[in-house]
Amino acid sequence: MDFFIALDNNNLGVYMIKIFKKIAMICALTISYFAIADDHAREITSTVYGQGIQLKVTDPAAMAAALTKFRNSETGKKYPGTMLLNQMIAGGESEITHQLITFFPSAASMDAGAEMTVPGNADFMAAYETVQSASEVVGRNLSRLLRGRGSVSTPGAVTNLIQLQVTDAAAFMEAFDKLWDSKAFKEFPGGVYFGDAMGGGENLTTHFVSFVAPNMEALYGGMDAIRASSDMAAYTKNANSFRNVTGNYVTRTLIRSVGEY
């Protein structure tokens, strides 16, 4: 979501700078990090761009109300991104409780969204002030969704995000392409997405794989099938030579607000 990035870019002062200095990026396609915007799409045919803000929320109801109010405003109705509000279910020792994620169909539409969320915009400022009072920013990230298939993240859906630091791109892609085309991946009961990340600060994540399922039963079943497959065994045999796992998170989507694309 552009809110905090727009404020940072527009130099609102020392207070905002101090907040951003605390940020320790956790890639979130993400992480619901990650769903495509078209409910009817079964395969991603072009790159989707994402912005994520990770939050420690003290008033979830106010956060949800602010997001809904912004989307229903004059500015929000024209905003070119699809927004997700996700609740962190499992994140290890991370203090993140929620994520605000926005997906755009192009880098140009991301720029257009930034121009709409500036300090002089009353709709934006009303939402920002509520978000600021109801939460603390603890991370932010940029990502690109490079490929995906299956259903998108709708309210109630759960996502298992696996973050990776790829150390040998050629070897990784050769192994991952085989896994992507495997029977277990294709039969996962939901959506499977893959992309890259940038601007992570101290976080070393370069790529991610995201599994989105309609409920926990489907997520567990699908992940168990993938882990038990011969294709996964072949992938993991030499995986440590070309990638490191930097994170493994589970989130639940609370709100999904579709933009103008």
Domains in the chain: boundaries:
3-257
* Rounded average pLDDT over 141-152: 90
Listing DSSP states for 174-206 in one string gives HHHHHHHTSHHHHT-SSEEEEEEEE--TT----
Lowest mean pLDDT among 125-129, 234-238, 256-260: 256-260
124 three-state secondary structure? helix
- Length of the chain, please? 261
* Rounded average pLDDT over 221-226: 97
Q: How many CB atoms lie within 10 A of CB 221?
A: 14
User: What is the reported pLDDT for 93?
Assistant: 75
Q: Residue holding tokens 């409780």?
A: 97
Which of the pair, 10 or 55, is modelled with greater confidence? 55
Report the mean per-residue pLDDT for the chain: 83
pLDDT band at residue 125 under the 50/70/90 scheme:
very high
Show the CA angle centred on residue 78, arms to residues 75 and 83, nearest 5°: 90
Q: Return all residues near 142 (Cβ < 8 A) that are at least 6 apart.
A: 49, 50, 51, 52, 197, 198, 199
What is the rounded distance in angstroms from the CA atom of residue 147 to the CA atom of residue 159? 16
**Has residue 41 got a pLDDT over 90?**
no
* Rounded average pLDDT over 14-29: 35
* Rounded average pLDDT over 172-196: 96
Phi, psi (5° rounding) for residue 51? -125, 135
Chain segment 187-205, per-residue pLDDT in tens = 999 999 999 998 665 678 9
User: What is the reported pLDDT for 221?
Assistant: 97
**CATH code at 3-257:** 3.30.70.100
**Has residue 258 got a pLDDT over 80?**
no
**Has residue 8 got a pLDDT over 80?**
no
What is the rounded distance in angstroms from the CA atom of residue 10 to the CA atom of residue 118? 7
User: What is the reported pLDDT for 15?
Assistant: 35
**Has residue 47 got a pLDDT over 50?**
yes
* Rounded average pLDDT over 110-121: 91
**Has residue 31 got a pLDDT over 80?**
no
User: What is the reported pLDDT for 114?
Assistant: 92
